[in-house]
Amino acid sequence: MNHLSAVKHVIIVLSGKGGVGKSTIAVQIALGLHAAGKKVGLLDVDLCGPSIPKMFNLEGRDIHQCPEGWLPVYVDKEQRIGVMSIGFLLEDLNDAVVWRGPKKNAMIKQFLSDVYWQDLDYLIIDTPPGTSDEHITVMEALRAYNPDGAILVTTPQAVAVGDVRRELTFCHKTGIPVVGIVENMSGYVCPHCSECTNIFSKGGGRALAQQNNVPFLGSIPIDRHLTLSVDTGKNFLESNPGSPALTAIDHMVKKL
């Protein structure tokens, strides 16, 4: 089966550390592209921490099979955002996936080959943090399909940015282009006085992009409505017009 050949653009979302907002950004990219009229798939290969079903309020949904393969779970009635995640295969999302590398790699390969996405404009792939076996499996499997490349998500502080530097090296070594770097949790704008506090410092992601000559896709501020939307599976882009985080997400998506 070769369902990925019907996908126009493939983007992999990477981060050096957990908790920097990688899955959040993957979801916002999918929603932003959908809002721009694109048909989007989101593949969650973070097998040990699948958070995408919750972020779309799709917990408890089942995967169905058709003659062509697994059908994604659709977020909307029009079937323009499809999601595939190991979370749909677990009886309970709180179950731990205790698998060794080969089993995880086999599952990822199956996700990449057997999901019947149909004609997608964009497939966004959310990965586990770091650079592990799973990433190598994804990169190797995708190379034949000329993916657009990887988006690297970081928070602004030096420790997180250092990890993203390693992600950049990983992309170069595996031959995957870098679409760009996103600096997430970049300052907090007070909703009362509009003053911006740089809780996790500022500018590390932009500086890293400049140093390495890769595109900078933007700085997304901390926004408690974004946390809330992600926790409850609401569409942040529809429910928070005009917020600084939404504007930044909008600019990021336009650069893809």
Q: What is the DSSP letter of 86?
A: G
- Binding of residue 154 to ligand ADP (CB under 6 A): no
Q: Pairing state of beta strands 64-66 and 69-71? A: antiparallel
- Binding of residue 18 to ligand ADP (CB under 6 A): yes
- Binding of residue 23 to ligand ADP (CB under 6 A): yes
In this structure, are residues 19 and 4 in contact, taking their beta carbons and an 8 Å threshold? no
- Binding of residue 252 to ligand ADP (CB under 6 A): no
- Binding of residue 128 to ligand ADP (CB under 6 A): no
Q: Residue 22 or 34: which CB sits closer to ligand ADP?
A: 22
* Residue 82, annotated as binding a ligand: no
CA-based Rg of the chain, rounded to a whole angstrom?
A: 17
Q: Where are the beta strands (DSSP E) in the chain?
A: 7-15, 40-44, 64-66, 69-71, 73-74, 81-85, 120-126, 149-154, 178-189, 196-197, 216-222
User: How far apart are alpha carbons 124 and 10 in whole angstroms?
Assistant: 6
Q: Residue 4 or 229: which CB sits closer to ligand ADP?
A: 229
Interface pattern 84-113 for ligand ADP (x via CB under 6 A): ------------------------------
- Binding of residue 20 to ligand ADP (CB under 6 A): yes
- Binding of residue 230 to ligand ADP (CB under 6 A): yes
Tally of residues, the chain: 256
* Residue 23, annotated as binding a ligand: yes
- Binding of residue 171 to ligand ADP (CB under 6 A): no
Neighbours of 102 (CB within 10 A): 10
In this structure, are residues 72 and 58 in contact, taking their beta carbons and an 8 Å threshold? no
Which residue stretch of 22-30, 33-41, 78-86, 209-217 sits at the interface with ligand ADP (rule: CB under 6 A)?
Answer: 22-30
Please give the residue ranges that form the binding site for ligand ADP (CB under 6 A): 15, 18-24, 51, 184-185, 220, 222-223, 226-227, 230, 245
Instruction: Give the residue ranges of the annotated binding site.
Output: 16-23, 190, 193
